């Protein structure tokens, strides 16, 4: 099993940031990917959509607080974007190259993940079998990201690394975890 811990950094925008930390771990065992995102801090500063009884596939989850990760096949331009909402909503998009050929990934009809919220923390946990899209023999490059929407509607962008002049989660040079 290949397991790594992570800690996300906010994009240096110069704007006031909420008092938060975003950390977690990611692991791959054969072709099962496990990821846990934990948001710790003053959650009253953050817009967190309450859990829904009917979690569904939804578009544009990144317009609100959204936990994300990107999977790329090593030595290939193809990659996937996974979006997870604290409300339980989700989506997966497939790209042929950098922001090219975006399509909803239809290999998955559900994306069951758990959400646990306490006073000062929120954790999303997902275990997913990647066999529908990637063979176990293919090496992965991963980017882990989060969009945080504050109560004042300001948005901050958090990632393992920020390689460009603007926050851009799709840059392949920021897919820095190898699994």
Average model confidence (pLDDT) across the chain: 95
Place 27 in a pLDDT band, splitting at 50, 70 and 90: very high
Question: Do 48 and 150 contact (CB within 8 A), yes or no?
Answer: no
> Pairing between strand 103-104 and 20-29?
unpaired
pLDDT band at 127 (very low <50, low <70, confident <90, very high): very high
Cα(161)–Cα(159) distance, integer angstroms: 5
The CATH fold assigned to 2-178 is: Immunoglobulin-like (2.60.40)
Q: In whole angstroms, what is the distance from residue 168 CA to residue 171 CA?
A: 6
Q: Which residue did the predictor score with more confidence, 158 or 54?
A: 158
**pLDDT grade for 102, boundaries at 50, 70 and 90:** very high
Res. 1 pLDDT band, cuts 50 70 90 = low
Residue 83 has pLDDT above 70, yes or no: yes
Q: Does residue 110 carry a pLDDT above 90?
A: yes
The answer to whether the CB of 175 falls within 8 A of the CB of 161 is no
CA-to-CA distance for 138 and 69, rounded, in angstroms?
17
Question: Is residue 8 within 8 Å of 160, Cβ to Cβ?
Answer: yes
How far apart, in whole angstroms, are the C-alpha atoms of residue 179 and residue 171? Answer: 18
Confidence of residue 13 (pLDDT cuts 50, 70, 90): confident
Domain range summary for the chain, segments of one domain joined by +: 2-178
Sign of CA dihedral 5, 178, 171, 101: negative
């Amino acid at each position: 099993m290949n397991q790594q811990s992570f800690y996300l950094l906010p994009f240096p925008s110069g704007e006031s940031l909420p008092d938060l930390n975003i950390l977690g771990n990611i692991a791959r065992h054969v072709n099962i990917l496990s990821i846990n995102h934990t948001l710790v801090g003053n959650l009253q500063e953050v817009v967190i959509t309450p859990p829904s009884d009917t979690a569904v596939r939804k578009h544009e989850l990144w317009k609100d607080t959204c936990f994300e990760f990107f999977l790329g096949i090593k030595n290939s331009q193809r990659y996937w974007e996974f979006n997870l909402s604290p409300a339980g909503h989700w989506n997966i998009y497939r790209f042929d190259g950098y922001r090219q050929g975006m399509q909803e990934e239809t290999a998955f009809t559900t994306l069951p993940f758990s959400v646990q919220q306490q006073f000062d923390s929120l954790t999303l946990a997902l275990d997913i079998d990647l066999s529908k899209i990637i063979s176990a023999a293919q090496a992965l490059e991963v980017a882990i990201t989060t969009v945080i929407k504050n109560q004042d509607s300001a948005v901050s962008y958090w990632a393992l690394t920020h390689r460009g002049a603007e926050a851009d989660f799709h840059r392949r040079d920021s897919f820095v975890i190898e699994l």
